[in-house]
Amino acid sequence: MHSIVARMLPYGAYAAILFGSIAVIVIAGAFILLKISLPRLVGLLGSMFHFKQVRNIGSDYVVIDVCEDKFELVNTISSRLPFVFAVGMCLLVSILVFIEGCIFSTRHVYSTRVCSIRTPNCYLFVTDLSAFHPLYNFICEPDLPVIPSNMSASYAVCYGFVLPDQSSIDILSQLGVCTGIQELVRALYPLAYKFGREKRGRVCLIILLCLLVILEIIVLSIQINISFTTIILITLVQVLLIIIFILHYRRMKNPSSQDRVGSYIPIDDVN
């Protein structure tokens, strides 16, 4: 039997913690990335994607090399936005993966999977479409199904504060996972950008993006048990692919920034 406890967070408090923390991270990250100086933004792009600075004029104008394509960066939102999205999404995913593994773990359950010690606090729903109206909340007992067979419910959300159970090895291991995600992006993103430079490559990337969107919709609609981390990683790939399309659109629409710089800026003013 599952035990119902008064000390468990009300669903409203759980939702506020989950979505509120994500909103705070997104808003704070967007504000910081849109306000930091161009040299620091270019430094982040270099460390995360191998994008290189070609030349700069003070701190208000920078030309960067994105896999041999030149792009201007100035202190306007429209100029920064694609690069801010790329950096911000990678940082957001790393932060969420770390929180999921070491601080506040969540689990979405659709079948008769057994209870997890990491996420014992559960809310039971009739379906995933009624996710704001739980039937009741309970503490799940190990080795018992989260959703009992005699219940009409088909969906549960479970959480657990896992930080007290973390050792230094656990934290270092999770930091290694976050670093591994960043290294994977750093290695594969330039290759994907170069692949999308040609028309055939762009078509393949568009097909890949459509398949990922369809896969995510299918996974969520047919109620397959899949981790929160997997969902946010799929979302990361989708966002990075969209940014590749935006950068290629800019490349085809505008002439090379590097070719224009010397025509109106004295060479002595260029660092």
pLDDT tens over the chain, length 271 residues: 454 444 788 888 888 888 898 899 999 998 999 888 888 899 999 889 988 888 887 778 888 888 888 888 888 888 888 999 999 999 999 999 999 888 888 888 776 778 888 888 888 887 665 556 787 888 888 888 888 777 777 778 888 888 888 888 989 999 999 999 999 999 999 999 999 888 899 999 999 999 999 988 887 776 666 777 888 888 899 999 999 999 988 888 765 544 554 444 444 444 4
pLDDT computed for residue 271 by the predictor = 45
What letter represents residue 114's amino acid?
A: V
Which tens digits make up the pLDDT trace of 68-102? Answer: 888 888 888 888 889 999 999 999 999 999 998 88
pLDDT computed for residue 55 by the predictor = 84
Q: Is 131 exposed, middle or buried (0-12, 13-18, 19+ CB in 10 A)?
A: middle
pLDDT computed for residue 259 by the predictor = 52
Which tens digits make up the pLDDT trace of 168-177? Answer: 898 999 999 9
Packed helices 77-102 and 11-35: angle between N→C axes, nearest 10 degrees = 140
Evaluate whether 89 touches 239 at the Cβ level (below 8 Å). Answer: yes
The sign of the torsion formed by the CA atoms of 232, 233, 238, 241 equals positive
pLDDT computed for residue 124 by the predictor = 85
Encoded tokens for 209: 């993006």
Instruction: Name the phi and psi angles at 45, rounded to 5.
Output: -65, -35
Q: pTM for this structure?
A: 0.80
Query: In whole angstroms, what is the distance from residue 160 CA to residue 29 CA?
Result: 25
pLDDT computed for residue 133 by the predictor = 76
Encoded tokens for 263: 């025509």
